[in-house]
């Protein structure tokens, strides 16, 4: 690629200039950018910015990649950076990277710049572009999807942590012949950010829900009905909450909280994950706090979740499984229309090498009550 100016998708990509140094330093010194770009110096100073403008960026071009300043089209002020690295010429592939200054976020700048950079790269002969994101950076994952990159998997220990150590990175890929526009999502967002029937509300699980989730999923009766029956650690629950949005964006699982719609009280959790996305088969699960049981809230929550699954998500078949002795949960499923389909003997791990039977229920769209 050559360092030409690209005006596309509402942004400008241009070479860095000496007068960008102050804005470059201020943008790169932002805590979010430093957290998810561990290769940046910390603290990031104007001296670092001047080095990048005079040496770092030109070296990226010399290596066959690209290093663009993202600029506001109206003012030409620097609002971020975007580039191509890790170029593998024989394979015609490269890795896309970007960052956006705090004063330019939530305006679609990252998505526009990524789309513009990808379009230019494909015109220059690249066939495959990768975009790697941290699992706890859902904002960047949304950019990847909006720019047409599809989730491909996890690169284990591919990322470095500031101060030492390594972390997994999520791989998003766009090919030259992929259709234009955003990448399709297996799990779309909820209408208006939630589901409700006026009595129960479901909303996505988030990082601030650790206390409720830890309390709920360490209740003895809840632990007894999971396999293996071992209570999770608080750190495991905290990680589940932190990665909830990422699981949704990658299409692996939708985790939700159940709330009393009249009081806003958090009363439980539920979720849906794909068993076989190609076949359109998914599975659901749920749990309620003791004070919320016996009021029909679980039935309403499962009904809402199933309606969303069969509607916007487009699932063709839902399953749910309970331990054979969990009669209360089985009644909830039957009220929604699930039918018993069979007992899978010894399907689940128990304690001390034992195995646990699993009772499976199934639901088709026209059976939802």
Domain of residue 112, CATH code: 3.40.630.30
Answer yes or no: is 306 within a domain.
yes
Amino acid 162: pLDDT:
86
Domain match, 196 and 94 both: no
- 117, 141, 175 - which closes a domain: 175
Domain match, 246 and 126 both: no
Domain match, 163 and 277 both: no
Name the nearest CA neighbour of 188 among 247, 248, 274.
Answer: 248
Answer yes or no: is 298 within a domain.
yes
Domain match, 153 and 295 both: no
Domain match, 143 and 200 both: no
pLDDT string in tens for the chain (369-residue length): 778 899 999 999 999 999 999 999 999 999 999 999 998 999 999 999 999 999 999 999 999 999 999 999 999 999 999 999 999 999 999 999 999 999 999 999 999 999 999 999 999 999 999 999 999 999 999 999 999 999 999 999 999 988 889 999 999 999 999 999 999 999 999 988 999 999 999 999 999 999 999 999 999 999 999 889 999 999 999 999 999 999 999 999 999 999 999 999 999 999 999 999 999 999 999 999 999 999 999 999 999 999 999 999 999 999 999 999 999 999 999 999 999 999 999 999 999 999 999 999 999 999 998
Locate 232 and state its tokens.
Answer: 């999770």
Query: Tell me, what DSSP letter sits at residue 227?
Result: S
> Cα dihedral angle (39, 41, 42, 44), rounded to 10 degrees?
-130
Domain match, 209 and 128 both: no
Answer yes or no: is 161 within a domain.
yes
CA 62: distance to chain centroid?
Answer: 34
Residue with tokens 């955003």: 182
Domain match, 166 and 274 both: no
**CA–CA dist 304, 284 (Å, integer):** 12
For residues 65 and 84, is the Cβ–Cβ distance under 8 A? yes
Domain match, 200 and 170 both: no
Domain match, 235 and 123 both: no
Amino acid 2: pLDDT:
78
Parent domain of 303:
191-367
CA 96: distance to chain centroid?
Answer: 18
Domain match, 339 and 201 both: yes
Amino acid 1: pLDDT:
74
Residue with tokens 């030259």: 176
Domain match, 155 and 202 both: no
Answer yes or no: is 247 within a domain.
yes
Q: Determine how many CB atoms are found less than 10 A away from the CB of residue 94.
A: 26
Domain match, 171 and 42 both: yes
Task: Tell me the DSSP string of 15-68.
Answer: ---GGGHHHHHHHHTSHHHHHH-TTS-SS--HHHHHHIIIIIHHHHHHTT-EEE
Number of structural domains found in the chain: 2
Q: Strands, DSSP E only, in the chain?
A: 6-8, 11-14, 66-71, 78-88, 93-100, 128-134, 150-160, 166-175, 195-196, 200-204, 253-260, 266-276, 281-288, 317-322, 339-349, 355-363
């Amino acid at each position: 690629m050559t360092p030409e100016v690209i005006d596309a998708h509402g942004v400008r990509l241009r070479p860095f200039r000496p007068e960008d140094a102050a804005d470059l330093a201020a943008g790169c010194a932002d805590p979010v950018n430093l957290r998810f770009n561990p290769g940046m110096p910390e603290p990031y100073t104007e001296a670092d910015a001047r080095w990048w403008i005079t040496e770092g960026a030109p070296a990226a071009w010399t290596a066959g990649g690209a290093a663009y300043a993202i600029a506001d089209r109206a003012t030409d002020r620097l609002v971020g950076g975007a580039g191509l690295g890790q170029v593998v010429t024989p394979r015609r592939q490269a890795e896309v990277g970007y960052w956006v200054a705090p004063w330019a976020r939530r305006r679609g700048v990252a998505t526009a710049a990524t789309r513009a950079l990808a379009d230019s790269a494909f015109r220059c002969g690249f066939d495959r572009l990768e975009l790697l994101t941290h699992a706890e950076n859902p904002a960047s994952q949304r950019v990847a999807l909006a720019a047409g990159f599809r989730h491909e998997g996890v690169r284990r220990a591919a990322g470095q942590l500031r101060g030492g150590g390594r972390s997994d990175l999520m791989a998003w890929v766009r090919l030259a012949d992929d259709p234009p526009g955003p990448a399709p999502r297996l799990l779309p967002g909820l209408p208006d950010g939630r589901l409700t029937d006026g009595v129960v509300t479901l909303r996505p699980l988030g990082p601030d829900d650790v206390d409720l989730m830890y309390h709920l999923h360490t209740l003895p009766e809840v632990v007894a009905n999971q396999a293996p029956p071992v209570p999770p650690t608080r750190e495991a629950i905290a990680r589940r909450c932190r990665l909830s949005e990422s699981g949704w964006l990658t299409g692996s699982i939708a985790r939700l909280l159940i709330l009393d719609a009249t009081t806003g009280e958090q009363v439980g959790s539920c979720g849906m994950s794909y068993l076989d996305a190609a076949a359109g088969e998914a599975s659901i699960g749920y749990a309620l706090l003791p004070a919320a049981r016996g009021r029909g809230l679980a039935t309403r929550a499962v009904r809402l979740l199933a309606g969303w699954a069969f509607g916007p998500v487009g699932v063709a078949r839902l399953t749910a499984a309970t331990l054979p002795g969990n009669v209360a949960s089985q009644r909830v499923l039957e009220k929604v229309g699930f039918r018993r389909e069979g007992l899978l003997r010894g399907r689940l791990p128990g304690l001390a090498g034992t195995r646990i039977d699993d009772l499976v229920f199934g639901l088709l769209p026209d059976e939802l009550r």
